[in-house]
Amino acid sequence: MATIIKNKRRIGILSGGGDCPGINAVIRAVARKAILEGGVEIIGIEDGYEGLINNEYHRLENRDLSGILTLGGTILGTSKKANPYRYAIKKDGKLTFKDMSKTALKNIRGLDLSCLVCIGGDGTLGIAYKLFKDGIPVIGVPKTIDNDIMGTDITFGFDSAVWIATEGIDRLHTTAQSHHRVMLVEVMGHNAGWLALHSGIAGGGDIILIPEIPYNINSIIEKVKERHRRGKKFSIVVVAEGAKPKGGNVVIQRIVKESSDPIRLGGLAFVLGDQIEKISGIETRAVVMGHLQRGGSPTPFDRVLATQLGTKAVDMINARKFGYMVGVRKNSFVEISLKDVAKGARKVPLDHPLIRAAKDLDTCFGDKC
């Protein structure tokens, strides 16, 4: 724990939820800009909201910021489980939930922060909104590979994940073609199809399944067979983890009861692969990209975006625009109320230009091909 310097304006920073490339670039941008402006002390909250509950933090100096622009993950640590308003506690082997918000609020006020910058997705920013309503000056920065935060056209981390997923799809083309197989590639995205849509188009997917368009297994089979009849003896199917059949349910990998978002999706590619092979008789293989999409260095685009979001956040602190998230709309940086951000995830509109463009190129979305 750092020794706090008196008579200095303090800005706290935390990163919550799943990690993704670009978090450190935001931390660097916020901290460096604020430090250069003078008279500011930067407090790094450790492991997301866990650090607020346990009062774990350290002061960030310029030396801590050196070399982290290109570094994946987060130097502050993160947590997908810690929620001050519903904190999981195991007692006598039983899981219970306790409201620890008063402890977190006390710790925040003890730090005498001018502002708490919360870097995260809709879950993290939803909690940030609750902190704001409880009197904490908060500003949000949108982070997720899913690109599903309400109010912003894009989040940092998304471009990096698209690159990784697209490279995976690219590498499967040759083996699929060599063995005349159907190859299914499962990507993340939770309940939104942005990642599958972008990587599927970029990777030349023949079939793209997204949560917003429930699929029909017979339509998928017919598309695969139709390609075979035309001499295309392989097919690439890009599957969003949250996709589901018409009238059916998502495939759940596991339930993490202590998490504020307990459902972990995953495994649809294997389920669907078995169905395709049994019905069509065509050899099928499935690959789940999984956490590969979260790791590694951010793309140049994400480094630039994260830097801009971080510096804009400091401008908002100086203007006392608390209770807002910095977002992007039509290539401009805008201020989005955390109240609106907390309303839910941003889904892919069914009339989105990318869907229309893909369909114009005979890409199947599993509904009717």
CATH 3.40.50.300 fits 9-156+296-341, yes or no: no
Contact 199, 188 (CB under 8 A): no
Q: Quick check: 5 pLDDT over 60?
A: no
Give the Cα separation of 193 and 367 in Å (integer).
15
Give the Cα separation of 244 and 262 in Å (integer).
19
Q: Which residues contact 178 (CB under 8 A, 6 or more apart)?
A: none
Task: Give residue-wise pLDDT tens across range 261-272.
Answer: 777 788 999 999
Q: Of 146, 159, 206, 302, which one is the catalytic site residue? A: 146
Task: Give, in degrees to the nearest 5, the angle at Cα 168 between 163 and 169.
Answer: 100
Q: Quick check: 4 pLDDT over 60?
A: no
Quickly tell me which residue has 């750092």 as its tokens.
2
The tokens for 250 are 């998502």
Name beta bridge partners: 235. Answer: 182
The span from the first CA to the last CA of the chain, in angstroms, equals 59
The tokens for 96 are 């219970």
Q: Quick check: 319 pLDDT over 60?
A: yes
pTM of the model: 0.93
Give the Cα separation of 8 and 357 in Å (integer).
54
Phi-psi group of 355: left, alpha or beta (phi > 0 → left; psi -120 to 50 → alpha; rest → beta): alpha
What are the backbone angles phi and psi of residue 355, rounded to the nearest 5°? Answer: -65, -45
Q: Which residues of the chain does CATH 3.40.50.450 include?
A: 9-156+296-341
Q: Which residues of the chain does CATH 3.40.50.460 include?
A: 159-294+349-360
Task: Give residue-wise pLDDT tens across range 141-186.
Answer: 999 999 999 999 999 999 999 999 999 999 999 998 889 999 999 9
Instruction: For the chain, state the CA radius of gyration.
Output: 22
What string of DSSP letters covers 47-107? Answer: TTHHHHHHT-EEEE-HHHHTT-TT--S-TT---SS--TTSEEEEETTEEEEE--HHHHHHH
Task: Give residue-wise pLDDT tens across range 213-272.
Answer: 999 999 999 999 999 899 899 999 999 999 999 999 988 877 777 776 777 788 999 999
The question of whether 340 is a catalytic residue gets the answer no
- In this structure, what DSSP letter does residue 249 have? -
Task: Give, in degrees to the nearest 5, the angle at Cα 198 between 195 and 204.
Answer: 125
The tokens for 1 are 């724990």
Task: Give, in degrees to the nearest 5, the angle at Cα 331 between 329 and 333.
Answer: 60
Contact 47, 79 (CB under 8 A): yes
Task: Give residue-wise pLDDT tens across range 322-347.
Answer: 999 999 999 899 999 999 999 999 99
What does the pLDDT read at residue 7? 52
Find the helix packing angle between 353-360 and 194-202, rounded to 10°. Answer: 40
Strand 207-209 to 57-60 pairing:
unpaired
For residue 118, what is the enclosing H or E element? strand 115-120
Q: Quick check: 2 pLDDT over 50?
A: no
- 271-280 long-range CB contacts below 8 Å, 24 or more apart? 272/184, 272/209, 272/217, 272/220, 272/237, 272/239, 273/182, 273/184, 275/217, 276/182, 276/184, 276/217, 276/220, 276/221, 276/224, 276/237, 277/182, 279/217, 279/221, 280/182, 280/221, 280/224, 280/225
In this structure, the chain runs to a length of 369
The matching CATH number, chosen from 3.40.630.90, 3.40.50.2000, 3.40.50.460, 3.40.50.10140, for 159-294+349-360 is 3.40.50.460
Confidence of residue 91 (pLDDT cuts 50, 70, 90): confident
What does the pLDDT read at residue 296? 93
